[in-house]
Amino acid sequence: MTYQNILTEVDGKVAIITLNRPQVLNAIDDSLMDELLSALQKFDADDHIACMIVTGSEKAFAAGADVSKMAKMGFNEVYRQELITRNWDQIKQIRKPIIAAVSGFALGGGCELAMMCDMIMASDTAKFSQPEIKLGIIPGAGGTQRLPRAISKSKAMDLVLTGRMMDAVEAERAGLVARIFPQADFLKQVKAVAHEIAAMPLLTILMAKESINTAYETTLSEGIHLERRLFHSCFGTHDQKEGMAAFIEKRPAKFTNT
């Protein structure tokens, strides 16, 4: 697939997908989402890749859904054709970790896209908001569901009902953002984290992601049951033997993803 709205790059075991609609601050439309999903699926199936980064420009991760396209839409077509959000749920099927590297604006659908990734790394310029209410709509790609889980009901209400922006420090304090890096070497720092993850045993990476994400979908006892089963499954991998032998022999582990 030739991409018009994203750029892709591979750096060792890390794939970087850059949203690329600079003229509209990476506003998200269906074709951008089609391409993003296609690239994520391609890297997920690629045995040479272990971790993915989704990023935007220095000014904007993504300034939300494309308002000029949405402004022309009516209830009949958006509802009947599942416009705007039709393929978002498929991102959940990606099994390898995805880091959202957010610099500048992550607004509306941009904030929701970042929250669909497995963790958010922010530059010190990042700004998050769900400004939909100012346009007469509510968040439509998980904002009202993932924000309360990430940052509490009270803070989610504050953001969704006022549409105000939250800076990187507030977002990190609230639990939305994992780490903040200075803008000057932001992507370099996020790539270093991605390489650190990618050096871990792949089967174990996949099991850890699956187990953590299950915490959002199920009861505590069912989640703990799944975790126990996956934990036991780790003992069937070569990399568990290697990781523990390397620890005992005081040498670096050589993982083979088996």
Query: Using a CB cutoff of 8 Å and minimum separation of 24, what contacts does 250-256 make?
Result: 255/199, 255/200, 255/201, 255/202
Angle at 174 between CA 173 and CA 179, to 5 degrees: 55
Distance CA 237, CA 49 (A): 19
Would residue 142 be called left, alpha or beta, if left means φ above 0 and alpha means ψ between -120 and 50 degrees?
left
Per the CB < 8 A criterion, the answer to whether 62 and 26 are in contact is yes
Binding residues for ligand CO8, how many (CB under 6 A)? Answer: 23
Q: Is 109 a catalytic residue?
A: yes
Asked if 112 touches ligand CO8 (CB under 6 A), the answer is yes
- Cβ 105 to ligand CO8, closest distance in Å? 4
Query: What are the backbone dihedrals phi and psi of residue 22, each rounded to the nearest 5 degrees, phi first?
Result: -60, -30
Of 101, 112, 122, 172, which residue is the catalytic one? Answer: 112
Asked if 52 touches ligand CO8 (CB under 6 A), the answer is no
- Select the span of 47-55, 138-146, 224-232, 234-242 touching ligand CO8 (CB under 6 A): 138-146
Of 64, 109, 110, 143, which residue is the catalytic one? Answer: 109
Instruction: Select 57 or 214, whichever has its Cβ closest to ligand CO8.
Output: 57
Interface pick for ligand CO8 out of 12, 38, 133, 140 (rule CB under 6 A) = 140
Distance CA 6, CA 12 (A): 19
Distance CA 38, CA 6 (A): 11
Site string for ligand CO8, 81-100 (x = CB under 6 A): ---xx---------------
- Select the span of 39-47, 105-113, 187-195, 208-216 touching ligand CO8 (CB under 6 A): 105-113
Q: In this structure, which amino acid lies at residue 155?
A: K
Asked if 67 touches ligand CO8 (CB under 6 A), the answer is yes
Q: Is 65 a catalytic residue?
A: yes
Distance CA 236, CA 203 (A): 10
DSSP type of residue 91 = G
- Cβ 28 to ligand CO8, closest distance in Å? 4
Helix (H) or strand (E) holding 45: helix 30-45
Asked if 56 touches ligand CO8 (CB under 6 A), the answer is no
Q: Is 112 a catalytic residue?
A: yes
Asked if 27 touches ligand CO8 (CB under 6 A), the answer is yes
- Active-site residues: which are they? 65, 109, 112, 132
Which parts of this chain interact with ligand CO8 (CB under 6 A)? 24-25, 27-28, 63-68, 84-85, 105, 107-109, 112, 131-132, 135, 139-141
